[in-house]
Amino acid sequence: MSKISMTVNGKSVSGEVEGRTLLVEFLREDLKLTGTHVGCDTSQCGACTVHVDGKQVKSCTMFAAEADGAEVKTIEGEANADGSLSVVQQAFQDYHGLQCGFCTPGMVMAATALLGKNPKPTELEIREHLEGNICRCTGYHNIVKAIMAASGQDVPAVAAE
Amino acid sequence: MHNFEFVKPSTVEEAVAALQSDEAQPMSGGQTLLPTMKQRLAAPEKLVSLTGIASMQGVSAVGGVLTIGGATTHATVATEAAAHYPGLAGLAAHIGDPAVRNRGTIGGSLANNDPAACYPSAALGSGATIVTNAREIAADDYFQGMFTTALEEGEIVTGVRFPIPQASNYQKFEQPASRFALTGVFVAKYADGVRVAVTGASEEGVFRWTEAEAALSANFSPDAIEGLSVSADGMIGDLHGTPAYRAHLIKVLTKRAVAAAS
């Protein structure tokens, strides 16, 4: 076991972890931040997406010890300080960007990472950015609409609708 | 997953020392190794992270050569190499997905030499030099078959030097589920000739299509290879594509890469 410390959603945290402890296990089981989901555990689905030092990563494919000293943001850190939904979260609600909701934490974290570096993405750029986030309800059209809306752009009539 | 000791050295020398013990394994971004450990196909007793070594980070272009630190992520290469070597940056920008590109590294990809990985085709197609803690290895000598390289036990890819070509492009046909290259072709045009490297297709791993190189060196246009064909012998066959299908893809993708590069 080794001691690790990091900042999670603006708070300093520390804990004892094994080498093999995944970042997502540390978040969910030690810190009880269960908003980050484990969908596949094989790096495919993106439900476990969080930000580490501002970059989206799959927290099932990173050891907790690798995030020692890092700034981590999870879905629990996404809402505004007063508890109201963030622009991206609100857009997901407004545009019905979720069905069962299991993939949603990862989708929202992927979307905020995209908008952080590309504030006005095209529909194609959004779809390409979501390559590593799988919605098993296949609700992609409304997720794309939500991200278009969250970026302040007109929401197009999405193809194949 | 079996447990292990995790160490994160800050210099190459410390990493090399840490790798001297039995059952020690280097890890860079871990986007291949970590899933492999979950499946218990790898079970190191000590995992030596290479991501804390500052000298293995970054992209720089000097005198027509692009140098990339071994622990530089795909996302960083996609951004920082774009102005110098757009063909390579474009390849990096389409590996895996955005989250994978934020972790996975060029050194990790080249050390693993997955037969369907993208980077080996760029290194071989550019005639790159693989720099390790101990020596420098020409790409032509480095790749030695599926998951096999010239690296010795405990040797680390600290960087890669790419001669910057006049024109280049990478085309891949993605395996629809994994998004790895079912077949991928990297074409690079230099003053002294054209190089064509193929990934994803051969049971021997990445290789150069020398007939196409000769034809394209004489005439850098898609039509130049019209009369050529690739034998299906030694190509990978699986439920995603037959050997003949992959052999056909090599020619199609090479033509597309040349068209995109010209």
The pLDDT of residue B22 is 87
> Which residues form the domain of A111?
87-150
CB A29, CB A42: distance < 8 Å: no
Q: How confident is the model at residue A159 (pLDDT cuts 50, 70, 90)?
A: low
CA distance A39 to A61: 12
Say whether B98 and A114 touch across the interface (CB within 8 A): yes
State the CATH number of the domain containing residue B67: 3.30.465.10
Three-state SS string across B177-229, please?
A: CCCCEEEEEEEEEECCEEEEEEECCECCCCEECHHHHHHHHHCCCHHHHCCCC
Q: How confident is the model at residue A160 (pLDDT cuts 50, 70, 90)?
A: low
- Residue-by-residue pLDDT tens, chain B, 262 positions: 999 999 999 999 999 999 999 899 999 999 999 999 999 999 999 999 999 999 999 999 999 999 999 999 999 999 999 999 999 999 999 999 999 999 999 999 999 999 999 999 999 999 999 999 999 999 999 999 999 999 999 999 999 999 999 999 999 999 988 888 999 999 999 999 999 999 999 999 999 999 999 999 999 999 999 999 999 999 999 999 999 999 999 999 999 999 999 6
| Number of Cα atoms under 13 Å in the Cβ half of residue B110 | 38
Three-state SS string across B57-74, please?
A: CCEEEECCEEEEECCCEH
- The runs of H, that is alpha helices, within chain B are 12-18, 33-38, 74-80, 86-92, 98-101, 106-112, 119-125, 139-142, 210-218, 243-261
Length of chain A, please? 161
Average pLDDT over residues A77-100: 96
B185 and B120: one domain? no
| ipTM for this model | 0.95
In a domain, A92, yes or no: yes
Q: In the predicted model, is pLDDT for residue A161 greater than 60?
A: no
B75 and B63: one domain? yes
A60-81: pLDDT as tens digits: 999 999 999 999 999 999 999 9
Q: Are strands A49-52 and A11-17 parallel, antiparallel or unpaired?
A: unpaired
Beta carbons within 8 Å of A99's beta carbon, 6+ residues apart: A135, A137, A139
A21-48: pLDDT as tens digits: 999 999 999 999 999 999 999 999 999 9
Chain A with chain B: Cβ pairs closer than 8 A: 71
Length of chain B, please? 262
CB B102, CB B118: distance < 8 Å: no
Q: In the predicted model, is pLDDT for residue A158 greater than 70?
A: no
Average pLDDT over residues A120-132: 96
B103 close contact with A: CB closer than 8 A: yes
Q: In the predicted model, is pLDDT for residue A5 greater than 70?
A: yes
> Which residues form the domain of B36?
5-49
Q: Which of residues 21-50 of B touch A (CB under 8 A)?
A: 30-31, 34-35, 37-38, 47, 49
Say whether B98 and A132 touch across the interface (CB within 8 A): yes
Q: In the predicted model, is pLDDT for residue A17 greater than 70?
A: yes
Looking at the 3D structure of chain B, how many domains does it have? 3
B193 and B157: one domain? no
Average pLDDT over residues A49-67: 98
The pLDDT of residue B41 is 95
Say whether A65 and B6 touch across the interface (CB within 8 A): yes
Looking at the 3D structure of chain A, how many domains does it have? 2
Distance from CA of A141 to the nearest CA of B (A): 19
Residue among B38, B49, B97 minimizing CB distance to A66: B49
The pLDDT of residue B126 is 98
Q: Which residue of B has its CA nearest to A126?
A: B98
Longest dimension (CA), chain B: 56
In a domain, A99, yes or no: yes
DSSP string, A45-113: S-TTEEEETTEEEEGGGSBGGGGTT-EEE-GGGTS-TTSPPPHHHHHHHHTT--SS-SSHHHHHHHHHH
Beta carbons within 8 Å of B86's beta carbon, 6+ residues apart: B168
CB B172, CB B118: distance < 8 Å: yes
Of A77, A98, A126, the one marking the end of a domain is A77
Say whether B98 and A2 touch across the interface (CB within 8 A): no
Closest CA to B106 of B161, B148, B151: B161
Cβ count near A120 (within 10 Å): 10
